[in-house]
Amino acid sequence: MASYDETTENRTIIRIDRDGRKEENDLIVKEHALTITLSDGEFVKDRRFVTMFCSPSDIEQLGIGFLLSEDIISSIDDIDDMSISDDSSEIKFLLSSSANLAENLMSKRDITSGCSRNINPYEFLKDLKLDELSSNIIVSAESIIQLSNEFQSMSTLYKSTGGTHASALCDDKGILIFKEDIGRHNAIDKIFGECLLKGINLDDKMILSSGRISSEILLKVAKRRIPIIISRSAPTSMALKFADQAGITVVGFARGVRMNVYSYGYRIG
Amino acid sequence: MASYDETTENRTIIRIDRDGRKEENDLIVKEHALTITLSDGEFVKDRRFVTMFCSPSDIEQLGIGFLLSEDIISSIDDIDDMSISDDSSEIKFLLSSSANLAENLMSKRDITSGCSRNINPYEFLKDLKLDELSSNIIVSAESIIQLSNEFQSMSTLYKSTGGTHASALCDDKGILIFKEDIGRHNAIDKIFGECLLKGINLDDKMILSSGRISSEILLKVAKRRIPIIISRSAPTSMALKFADQAGITVVGFARGVRMNVYSYGYRIG
């Protein structure tokens, strides 16, 4: 079996700078096509659910996290079996009857989720019941600064290629899980998948992300009842509207010793 | 009619830095839900094609560019009529019979495009016929440096909010069209839409983008036969594989006086 856990490849490029033009070896971030196939052992057989582009690491966590974010599963018990093809291009899930796969796929026919593309936020929100999160978690600005620095130093794939996003699950003591991927959504789904596999609660933790906080990212985090999201980048207006409704603390531009707190600032002590 | 061309909104935030914690007014980038509805005056009536999240500017260009990128139209003659709702939440297209809408939608049923999510690149490639582009365009590294600086100075929405991507159509003399959007794909689609409206050729120009060059971005540009793509950020391995096949020059990390040339370097003089 070929090793598909490498997330970079080498390429000879031409580097142009003040000193001129020279051929050099460079590290390129790998982009990998992963197809998720679903069966329920009864009505649905090997149905291609999605083909996504990702970094070829944590395939299992990504698959599980994606199914969770897309409401195909709600717990690890919804998965009876799982297998990854030798070349890591396909992950097959056999879901248990508790997942109601056939019914679920029927009801979803018209809604697919993408990055700023294929989702109707209002249909989505109807089902979400964004009742305000009332988590009592408080975290100091100092802890966030420390987490943000730790996060930066762990982003090795980004440092070597400049082509990835990172996401981390944290508590106020440190980073618990750290994932990188070419996609903002994938990096977070990998975290969710690992938490489901390991039985880690999400609703008393924080999510750190290198990427912008769009409405889709906010909703993804809100659905997992995570009370605080911290980003090195900016939130959008719609993300903040949903954060207001959902009771989520949004911290943006967390870089060095500075940060902006956009909502529910009482949780940042 | 309300004015929806503002792309930012105000919000009171808490800014924390070395000097402590203070309430301040901040500019947040607006995220807007836009639904594209399609009719052909015969078989298809007001069918919701997509709801996408975007910056509420250049709605017309975005709608047209999106339909072009998704192969729903191939020329401006495929559009008989177009109307935008008062609140800019919906753009309706009446397509001409030349667009073969009903047939086209049937054949697409299984393929939707998103950001690293919902596309099967191999199915996509089958149709693309990536024969090598043989454009003779040559551009100097100095021109690219100049274009990149001009691009930076035009990115005003990014400068005020930190939450957008930008894209530009250029020739070696300067920037011809410049667009910003919360989404990388949208910014490029806005350019394509404007070119279709104005009858501007794409196949002798360059595309500049602030965002990473993923396979989907590369294919979007390849389909328009644009020979050079320049980014301030990194390309992925799959994007470069497709660029090799399609004969496209990829320039990454174009910042200040430096850049990396990843493919078909002979076009960078």
The residue length of chain B stands at 269
Chain A, window 178-237: residues with a beta carbon less than 8 angstroms from a chain B beta carbon: 182-183, 185-186, 212, 214-216, 233-237
* Cβ of residue A113 closer than 8 Å to a chain B Cβ: yes
Q: CA A128, CA A237: separation in Å to the nearest integer?
A: 19
Q: Give the closest-approach CA distance of B31 to chain A in angstroms.
A: 5
Strands A47-54 and A249-255 turn out to be: unpaired
H or E stretch at A51: strand A47-54
- Displacement of CA B202 from its chain's centroid (Å): 13
Q: What is the arithmetic mean of pLDDT over B159-165?
A: 91
Q: Give the closest-approach CA distance of A151 to chain B in angstroms.
A: 19
pLDDT of residue A269: 87
The answer to whether residue A212 scores a pLDDT higher than 80 is yes
- Mind listing the pLDDT tens digit for each residue in B111-158? 433 333 344 555 555 556 666 777 788 999 999 999 999 999 999 999
Q: CA B224, CA B227: separation in Å to the nearest integer?
A: 9
- Mind listing the pLDDT tens digit for each residue in B59-110? 999 999 999 999 999 999 999 999 999 999 999 999 999 999 999 888 765 4
* Cβ of residue A262 closer than 8 Å to a chain B Cβ: yes
3-state secondary structure of A101: helix
pLDDT of residue B129: 60
Asked whether the beta carbons of residue A258 and residue B18 sit closer than 8 angstroms, the reply is: yes
Q: Give the closest-approach CA distance of B114 to chain A in angstroms.
A: 5
User: Which of A6, A15, A21, A31 has the highest number of chain B CBs within 10 A, making it the mutation to test binding with B?
Assistant: A31
Asked whether the beta carbons of residue B31 and residue A120 sit closer than 8 angstroms, the reply is: no
Q: CA B102, CA B99: separation in Å to the nearest integer?
A: 9
Q: Please list, in sequence order, all residues whose beta carbon lies within 8 angstroms of the beta carbon of residue B70, skipping any fewer than 6 positions away.
A: B108, B113
- Mind listing the pLDDT tens digit for each residue in B234-257? 999 999 999 999 999 999 999 999
Model confidence at A125, pLDDT cuts 50, 70, 90, reads low
Q: List active site positions of A.
A: 115
Q: Which residues of A touch B117 (CB under 8 A)?
A: 50, 52-53, 112-115, 117-118, 183, 185
Q: Which contacts qualify for A25-29: CB closer than 8 Å, 24 or more apart?
A: A26/B260, A26/B262, A27/A160, A27/A161, A28/A161, A28/A163, A28/B234, A28/B235, A28/B236, A28/B237, A28/B240, A28/B262, A29/A55, A29/A157, A29/A161, A29/A162, A29/A163, A29/A164, A29/A182, A29/B234, A29/B236, A29/B237
User: Average per-residue pLDDT in chain A?
Assistant: 89
Q: Which residues of A touch B53 (CB under 8 A)?
A: 116-117, 121, 214-216, 236, 238
Chain B, window 119-178: residues with a beta carbon less than 8 angstroms from a chain A beta carbon: 119-122, 141, 161-163
Q: Are A218 and A229 in contact (CB under 8 A)?
A: yes
Q: What's the Rg (C-alpha) of chain B? A: 19
Chain B, window 54-93: residues with a beta carbon less than 8 angstroms from a chain A beta carbon: 54
Closest residue by Cα to residue A193 from A38, A87, A79: A79
How does A208-232 read in b/e, with b if 16+ C-beta sit within 10 Å?
bbbbbbbbbbbbbbbbbbbbbbbbb
Q: Please list, in sequence order, all residues whose beta carbon lies within 8 angstroms of the beta carbon of residue A190, skipping any fewer than 6 positions away.
A: A58, A61, A62, A65, A167, A179, A181
- Displacement of CA A68 from its chain's centroid (Å): 11
Out of B29, B161, B237, the one facing A30 most closely (by C-beta) is B237
* φ, ψ at B25 (rounded to 5°): -85, 140
3-state secondary structure of A177: strand
pLDDT of residue A91: 97
pLDDT of residue B133: 74
Q: Please list, in sequence order, all residues whose beta carbon lies within 8 angstroms of the beta carbon of residue A19, skipping any fewer than 6 positions away.
A: none
The answer to whether residue A120 scores a pLDDT higher than 70 is no
Q: Which residues of B touch A238 (CB under 8 A)?
A: 30-33, 53
- Mind listing the pLDDT tens digit for each residue in A46-70? 999 998 999 999 999 999 999 999 9
Q: Which residues of B touch A16 (CB under 8 A)?
A: 141, 258-261, 268
Segment among A107-116, B138-147, B202-211, B215-224 with least mean pLDDT: A107-116
ipTM: 0.88
Q: Give the closest-approach CA distance of B53 to chain A in angstroms.
A: 5
- Mind listing the pLDDT tens digit for each residue in A127-176? 566 667 777 889 999 999 999 999 999 999 998 899 999 999 999 899 99
**Greater confidence, B152 or A113?**
B152
With 0-12 / 13-18 / 19 or more C-beta atoms within 10 angstroms meaning exposed / middle / buried, residue B153 is: exposed
Token pair 């990396």 is found at B260
* Cβ of residue A29 closer than 8 Å to a chain B Cβ: yes
Q: What is the arithmetic mean of pLDDT over A241-249?
A: 93
B10: closest chain A residue by CA: A237
Q: CA B163, CA A211: separation in Å to the nearest integer?
A: 10
Q: CA A109, CA B157: separation in Å to the nearest integer?
A: 36
Model confidence at A122, pLDDT cuts 50, 70, 90, reads low
Asked whether the beta carbons of residue B14 and residue A112 sit closer than 8 angstroms, the reply is: no
Asked whether the beta carbons of residue A120 and residue B163 sit closer than 8 angstroms, the reply is: no
Q: Tally A–B CB contacts below 8 A.
A: 217
User: Which of B9, B26, B31, B186 has the highest number of chain A CBs within 10 A, making it the mutation to test binding with A?
Assistant: B31
Q: Which residues of B touch A214 (CB under 8 A)?
A: 31, 53, 182
Q: Give the closest-approach CA distance of B136 to chain A in angstroms.
A: 19
Model confidence at B210, pLDDT cuts 50, 70, 90, reads very high
Q: Give the closest-approach CA distance of B96 to chain A in angstroms.
A: 24
Out of B26, B33, B110, the one facing A260 most closely (by C-beta) is B26
* Cβ of residue B35 closer than 8 Å to a chain A Cβ: yes
Asked whether the beta carbons of residue B214 and residue A182 sit closer than 8 angstroms, the reply is: yes
Q: CA B158, CA B154: separation in Å to the nearest integer?
A: 9
User: Which of A34, A50, A53 has the highest number of chain B CBs within 10 A, making it the mutation to test binding with B?
Assistant: A53
Q: Give the closest-approach CA distance of A33 to chain B in angstroms.
A: 8
- Mind listing the pLDDT tens digit for each residue in A219-234? 999 999 999 999 999 9
What is the greatest pairwise CA distance in chain B?
65
Q: Are B255 and B148 in contact (CB under 8 A)?
A: yes
pLDDT of residue A124: 55
- The sign one gets for the Cα dihedral B16, B21, B23, B24 is negative
